Homo-oligomer: A and B are copies of this chain.
Amino acid sequence: MVKRKLMFLALVATALLVWSTTAFAQEVSLLAEQLFRYHRGQDVFFMFMLVAFLMLFIKRYEWGVCLMTLLILSVSFPFYFAVKTIYFAEAWNMDLIILGVVCAITLVISAGMFLGQVKTWQYIIIALLFVVAYSINEWFLFTYLQGVADMGGSLLVHAFAAYFGYGMILSLRHKKIMDAPMKTTVHSVSFVWLASMLLWILWPSFTTGLLAPDQVIGGMLITYMALMGSTVITYLVLLAIQKKIDPLVYTYAILAGGVAIGSTVDLVGPWAAFAIGLLAGLISSLCFVYLHPTLEKAFGVRDVMGVHNLHGVPGIVGGLLAIPFAGSVQGVAVVGTFVIAIVTGLISGLIMRAIGRNEEYILDDSESFPMEDARTAESISIRGSGVSM
């Protein structure tokens, strides 16, 4: 009987051990998984801010871009968070934080298209409208449809941003924006180089943000290979067709590999990724040089930052490249994203037009900031202390 009791004891101990070890392991693993995501999530916030500096080349319109960026993040993230946790009653975790800033980054990319065409305070309203539009597309891609490949956001982020923006500029179009000067300075363009190069290196945190832990290292390699492909080809293409490199085309088009790899980041190998990058860089460069002026003339609109050339076409191409892996549902996803984006963009643009377009200070910091002195004496008065600086 003693033996039987001992035996029983041993079995109970074993069972407890199995249970506790597994439970412990899972708990650590879940927590560790969330913690591993902390820095990739923070990197996406970092990228959000850098998108502002990618747009900082217009002389006398630098601070306004930063202000707009900060407003968009600080309105769209809490609203997206409220929609998910209150309306849909989801619990929040690291994934939801990442999803929130991905929503915000999609809007700030999109805003590069209609920059200066609305007033600064109106970005608050646009942020609210955009969260609704974006949520519809998010639901369409991942709840209504099943099996869409888009872990790195070619469709959810890049294509949606570009075509929502296109809808906006079609609704907002007026002549003044076509005539607004876009001068640059050497240093304003140097900020663009900085932003582009830092976005380049942070890009894997964006494409791997929601991947399972064992896919992250591979996703990093795949993303970098795609970016290297677009970086090399953009140089060669621009050299071939323009002899000189337009810095504001180069700094943008080198990122096209990152845009286009978004739908296949967990599906292809490093050399296929390099090839996708070559293709995306080639297409994006050609869009900047040839498609951009053609479309502007055809529709009478200005895509201020050339968003369509970096995010629109390469995003669609990236989405289509996943068809061999995901099947026909991927084609439906591409078409659906295009339609939802352009329709919600058109509607949002009409609403903003009804509220009142920006017609006085187009691409001009003096809308929001005291710039009178800056124009004359390269110095401005700051702080409430009345000190002339």
- Chief secondary structure at chain A's binding surface: helix
Chain B proximity mask over A190-233: 1 for CB below 8 Å, otherwise 0? 11011001101110110000000110110011001101110110
Contact (Cβ within 8 A) B97 A221: yes
Contact (Cβ within 8 A) A288 B217: no
Nearest Cβ on chain B to A183's Cβ, whole angstroms: 4
A contacts, CB < 8 Å to B: 3-4, 6-7, 9-11, 13-14, 17-18, 21, 24-25, 28-29, 31-32, 34-36, 38-43, 45-46, 48-49, 52-53, 56-57, 59-60, 62-63, 66-67, 69-71, 73-75, 77-78, 81, 92-94, 97, 121, 124, 181-191, 193-194, 197-198, 200-202, 204-205, 213-214, 216-217, 220-221, 224-225, 227-229, 231-232, 235, 239, 242, 244-250, 254, 270, 274, 288-290, 292-293, 296, 306, 368-370, 374, 378-380, 382-387, 389
For this chain, the copies found in one complex come to: 3
Contact (Cβ within 8 A) A14 B24: no
Contact (Cβ within 8 A) B198 A382: no
The residue that A292 contacts in the complex, of B28, B232, B385, with Cβ under 8 A, is B385
Contact (Cβ within 8 A) A49 B184: no
Interface centre among A45, A73, A193, A246 (most CB of B within 10 A): A193
Contact (Cβ within 8 A) B18 A71: no
Residues of B within 8 A of A52 (CB): 197
18 additional A-B residue pairs with CB within 8 Å, beyond A183-B379, A247-B369:
A9-B11, A21-B25, A34-B217, A42-B205, A59-B378, A69-B197, A70-B235, A70-B254, A71-B235, A74-B232, A77-B228, A182-B382, A182-B387, A185-B378, A246-B369, A246-B382, A248-B382, A249-B383
